[in-house]
Structure 1
Amino acid sequence: MNLSLPIEVLDQIALEERHFAEAPKAFFEAWKRGAEIAGAEWFGDGTREGLQRANSKWDLRPNMLMLNDALGVLSSGQRMFLSAMVSFYNSREGGAMLKRCGFEGLSDLGGLDLERRKVIADLTLHYTGW
């Protein structure tokens, strides 16, 4: 009895293994791009220098207190983008922020420009947990 898997299945397994092995680095790169777009003040130590020298997502944790305080004065696009990013860091907090922004579903992300959509798409594709 031959128990070997078809080559297509083995290729798919290898592809997924590569993807998930590279996912943490790709997630961090997307997270850093998002922090650059949104503004260094919302992440890590809140400085441009801190953003530049960050080596991991842990170096760029969102400043939850500052974000929650500022949510009411940001533009609708900035609120949506920052809230979506926060939802990767803390789903409960991010979900509450998204609700405050009037987010009802994924189609609401359609209001973001292409650059921000790509960040959210890359974060989704490469997310393996915080």
Structure 2
Amino acid sequence: MSVSIPPEVIDQIAMEDRHFAAAPEAFFQAWKRGAEIAGVEWFGDGTREGLQRATSKWDLRPNMLLLNDALGVLSSGQRMFLSAMVSFYNSREGGAMLKRCGFEGLSDFGGLDLQRRKVIADLTLNYNGW
């Protein structure tokens, strides 16, 4: 006995395949937008030229030493956004940073402006591991 798969299930599988095939580039573009919003000094070589030359997320790794030292002097919104971004790069470090910022759950992102929320949403939708 053969079982046919409903067309909507096949369409859903195809849509997910397309999404995940495009996810690495979409993640990189969201990461790059986030680095620009947060400040290029925290990512890669810390220069605008480095941001423009970047061809992968690896070129824009967060500068963990610099970030951890500066976390106490940044505004609460800057701390939250940078810590959330770091959590995609290194969940343990990012989680510790978020905890230092007083982050208790996803609703705390409600304090971020729309531009930063969109970056976090796009990073979440397209995350495929670091």
Tell me, in whole angstroms, the C-alpha distance in 1 between the residues paired with 2:53 and 2:110.
32
Identity %: 87
Residue 49 of structure 2: aligned partner: 49
Tell me, in whole angstroms, the C-alpha distance in 1 between the residues paired with 2:43 and 2:4.
49
Structure 1: segments with no counterpart, 5+ residues? none
Q: Helix, strand or coil for the counterpart of 1:16?
A: helix
Task: Kindly report structure 1 stretches of 4+ aligned residues shifted beyond 3 Å.
Answer: none
1:115 counterpart = 2:98: no
- The structural deviation recorded for 1:99 is 0.2
TM-score, normalization by structure 2 = 0.99
Q: Helix, strand or coil for the counterpart of 2:72?
A: coil
TM-score, normalization by structure 1 = 0.99
Tell me, in whole angstroms, the C-alpha distance in 1 between the residues paired with 2:19 and 2:48.
30
Kindly tell me the number of residue pairs found equivalent between the two proteins.
130
Give deviations 1:16-60, integer Å, cap 9, x for gaps: 000000000000000000000011100000001000110000000
Residue 64 of structure 1: aligned partner: 64
Structure 2: segments with no counterpart, 5+ residues? none
Tell me the C-alpha RMSD between the 2 structures: 0.5
Residue 4 of structure 1: aligned partner: 4
- The structural deviation recorded for 1:4 is 2.6
Tell me, in whole angstroms, the C-alpha distance in 1 between the residues paired with 2:28 and 2:67.
20
| 1:1-130 to 2 correspondences below 5 Å | 1-130=1-130
